[in-house]
A and B are shown apart, each in its own frame.
Chain A
Amino acid sequence: MNLFAKKEINFRDKDIETIGREELSDMQFASFMSTMRAALRTEFYKNRFAKIGITSREDIKSLDDLAKIPFTTKEDLREAYPSGLLAVGLEKVVRLHTSSGTTGSPTVIYHTQKDLDNWTELLMRGLTACGVTEKDVFQNMMTYGLFTGGLGLHYAAERLGALVIPAGSGNTRRQMQLMKDFRTTAVHVTPNYMLHIAGRIEELGFKLEELNLKKAFLGAEPFSENARKKIEKSFKIDVYNCYGLSEMNGPGVAMECVYKDGLHIWEDSYIVEIIDPATGKVLPDGQQGELVLTTLKREATPLLRYRTRDLATVFKGNCPCGRTHRRISRIMGRTDDMLIINGVNIFPSQIEEVLMKKPEVGTNYLIELNKRDELDRITIKVEIYAKLFHGSMKELEELRDQLKDELKSTMLVSADVEIHEPGSLPVYEGKAKRVIDNRSKE
């Protein structure tokens, strides 16, 4: 693919998407003031601001005063559950999404009709930027329900006029049957589920030629560039990265365009900051840190300087597509999924990057951490890719040695590599659980 080739650029709302930076900044300030007003109506922010001496929005004079406002964390959302962050009367609320709280108590985000419309609008921008039109058949393979990945994209694709298949996640054979029977052109799916299907198309009883798939939108969990390439190659499609989190609506906070070089974050709806997760200090563009977002348009649940725990950089420079909204990198990891192995910091994404480069290993993998003689041991379990098994022990041993070497040079820690049969590692149809940490149990 030639990155410099001229591409067709489609806009949903060209005026907003290519707005001048100065004008955007003015718009942000105006929206920020209404967000402050909304925040002051919530029990949570009223108390918090009282503590730091902000009692009215007059205490904020410009966007530079943003730094005066303390961060909002996931923990705050848990404490404010269920209604501490609600800024409007319940009669104005039309929907809520809660997060399951796999790591703690639940959190909730309320939406007015205007909130939902704006969420849908941002997603329509993203889909349009990647060439989705009313001609597309859009199979939404994300879980519907409280999880925002399902409904978010559903409404956006539907409002664009695409034919939406609300498939939900799971039941791989039926997914493939739907894709084939209705000539699906675009899917929305988690990277791990797509990786699971990739390379198994024939095994599932289908042929690539029978499908009409052109694009996949991957979201809900971080994935590496090599995972993208692997999926693009197996399906012969374009894969686009879609970023979001339920606290900020859900998918569509930032989305790639046809250039697939960073995700445009919609700055008319969010203020973007990157901070050093250890000190909270705001970092300049280009430096990696934790993404901090402030909602600018949300009426029901305004959030100020929310720490996403996602690690990314904000790109310097403009995108050839002409959009002025800055780009963020793919999510490099999460501040809370960093592994510390014998004192060395490692992100699972670094491991994935190495594994996905190797065609001989399948798309599923597992990272296991154990303690042996007081030392942390990391074991990477991979599955062999059936078509590239030639019956040679030497090949398998070379593969294992190569993986060990490459992992060592990426992570600076030695890993054990185990090769397993395809289908023997657990499969996830939604968000995957790739790390099993047995260290505290032993």
Chain B
Amino acid sequence: MKITQISVFLENKSGRLYDAVSLLGKKKINIRALTIAESEDYGILRLVVDKPALAAESLKKDGFVANITDIVAVEIADTPGGLAKVLGALSKDKIDVEYMYAFVEKQSGKALMVFRFENIDKAVRSLAKNKFVIVGKKEIQSL
């Protein structure tokens, strides 16, 4: 039920983000979702890709500081209030979201969001109980 996210530590230096994504391009790795968290002098690039193991290995080999984390991808109805429904259910079960971001692709009528939870197993149980659709590794690869 969990999917793999790659986090890359990037110092605030021009061209560094380009270096990272062009490396992935060269390795024919497709980016499905991404977000950047930033502070004054560095940022963390978070990515969901089709070949996470290869991506992490290539980045590390090229001198990037990269790490993999488990996240959860959830289908959300692409209608007003769709996201609120999911967050409402999680909040009721007292589950904190560390951060979240959206997928580039869209399945018809559905939006895809990824969530990072402090307690991932508890979050997955809550989502399943509330009948939300959790997207697995295979589906991400075939998107």
The stretch of B64-72, B86-94, B105-113 in contact with A is B64-72
Complex-state Cα separation, A58 to B65, whole angstroms:
69
Complex-state Cα separation, A393 to B37, whole angstroms:
7
Q: Given A384-B9, A389-B9, A391-B7: A419 and B42 within 8 A (CB)?
A: yes
Q: Which of A386, A389, A391, A396 has the most CB of B within 10 A?
A: A391
Q: Is B139 an interface residue (CB 8 A)?
A: no
Q: How far is the CB of B134 from chain A (nearest CB, A)?
A: 21
Are B41 and A418 touching (Cβ within 8 A)?
yes
Complex-state Cα separation, A384 to B8, whole angstroms:
12
Q: Is A421 an interface residue (CB 8 A)?
A: yes
Residue of A nearest to B10 (CB): A421
Are A393 and B44 touching (Cβ within 8 A)?
yes
Are B39 and A384 touching (Cβ within 8 A)?
no
Are A391 and B69 touching (Cβ within 8 A)?
yes
Contact with B along A369-400 (1 / 0, CB 8 A): 00000000000000010100111111011000
Interface members, chain B 49-86 (any A CB < 8 Å): 60, 63-69
Complex-state Cα separation, A424 to B13, whole angstroms:
10
Interface members, chain B 1-46 (any A CB < 8 Å): 5, 7, 9-11, 13, 16, 37, 39, 41-42, 44, 46
Q: Which residues of B contact A (CB under 8 A)?
A: 5, 7, 9-11, 13, 16, 37, 39, 41-42, 44, 46, 60, 63-69, 98
Q: How far is the CB of B72 from chain A (nearest CB, A)?
A: 15
Of B65, B69, B98, the residue contacting A384 (CB under 8 A) is B65
Of B13, B64, B67, the residue contacting A390 (CB under 8 A) is B67
Are B67 and A421 touching (Cβ within 8 A)?
no
Are A390 and B42 touching (Cβ within 8 A)?
no
Q: Given A389-B67, A390-B67: A420 and B46 within 8 A (CB)?
A: no
Instruction: Write out the residue numbers on chain B whose beta carbons fall within 8 Å of the beta carbon of A392.
Output: 7, 44, 98
Q: Would you list 22 pairs from A and B whose C-beta atoms are within 8 A, ordered by A residue?
A: A384-B9, A389-B9, A389-B65, A389-B67, A390-B67, A390-B69, A391-B7, A391-B68, A392-B44, A393-B37, A396-B9, A396-B44, A397-B39, A418-B42, A419-B41, A421-B9, A421-B10, A421-B64, A422-B63, A423-B63, A424-B11, A424-B13
Instruction: Write out the residue numbers on chain A whose beta carbons fall within 8 Å of the beta carbon of B41.
Output: 418-420
Are A421 and B7 touching (Cβ within 8 A)?
no
Are B65 and A422 touching (Cβ within 8 A)?
yes
Q: How far is the CB of B64 from chain A (nearest CB, A)?
A: 7
Q: How far is the CB of A386 from chain B (nearest CB, A)?
A: 5
Q: How far is the CB of B21 from chain A (nearest CB, A)?
A: 16
Instruction: Write out the residue numbers on chain A whose beta carbons fall within 8 Å of the beta carbon of B65.
Output: 384, 386, 389, 421-422
Instruction: Write out the residue numbers on chain A whose beta carbons fall within 8 Å of the beta carbon of B9.
Output: 384, 389, 396, 421
Ranked 8 nearest A-B pairs via Cβ: A391-B7, A391-B67, A386-B65, A418-B41, A393-B37, A421-B11, A420-B11, A391-B69
Residue of B nearest to A419 (CB): B42
Instruction: Write out the residue numbers on chain B whose beta carbons fall within 8 Å of the beta carbon of A421.
Output: 9-11, 16, 42, 63-65
Instruction: Write out the residue numbers on chain A whose beta carbons fall within 8 Å of the beta carbon of B44.
Output: 391-393, 396
Complex-state Cα separation, A337 to B16, whole angstroms:
34
Q: How far is the CB of A358 from chain B (nearest CB, A)?
A: 16
Residue of B nearest to A393 (CB): B37
Q: How far is the CB of B49 from chain A (nearest CB, A)?
A: 14
Complex-state Cα separation, A419 to B39, whole angstroms:
10
Complex-state Cα separation, A394 to B68, whole angstroms:
16
Residue of B nearest to A386 (CB): B65
Of A386, A394, A419, the residue contacting B11 (CB under 8 A) is A419
Q: How far is the CB of B7 from chain A (nearest CB, A)?
A: 3
Complex-state Cα separation, A421 to B20, whole angstroms:
13
Complex-state Cα separation, A256 to B11, whole angstroms:
40
Q: Which of A384, A393, A422 has the most CB of B within 10 A?
A: A393
Instruction: Write out the residue numbers on chain B whose beta carbons fall within 8 Å of the beta carbon of A391.
Output: 5, 7, 44, 46, 67-69
Complex-state Cα separation, A389 to B46, whole angstroms:
13
Residue of A nearest to B13 (CB): A424
Q: How far is the CB of A259 from chain B (nearest CB, A)?
A: 39
Complex-state Cα separation, A260 to B54, whole angstroms:
46
Of A396, A420, A422, A424, the residue contacting B39 (CB under 8 A) is A396
Instruction: Write out the residue numbers on chain A whose beta carbons fall within 8 Å of the beta carbon of B67.
Output: 389-391
Complex-state Cα separation, A389 to B6, whole angstroms:
12
Residue of A nearest to B9 (CB): A389
Instruction: Write out the residue numbers on chain B whose beta carbons fall within 8 Å of the beta carbon of A423.
Output: 63
Q: Which of B9, B41, B65 has the most CB of A within 10 A?
A: B65
Of A394, A420, A422, the residue contacting B42 (CB under 8 A) is A420
Q: How far is the CB of B43 from chain A (nearest CB, A)?
A: 9
Residue of A nearest to B45 (CB): A391
Q: In the complex, given contacts A384-B65, A393-B37, what are 8 additional A-B residue pairs having Cβ atoms less than 8 angstroms apart?
A: A386-B60, A389-B66, A390-B69, A392-B7, A392-B44, A420-B42, A421-B63, A421-B65
Q: How far is the CB of A125 from chain B (nearest CB, A)?
A: 44
Instruction: Write out the residue numbers on chain A whose beta carbons fall within 8 Å of the beta carbon of B7.
Output: 389-392
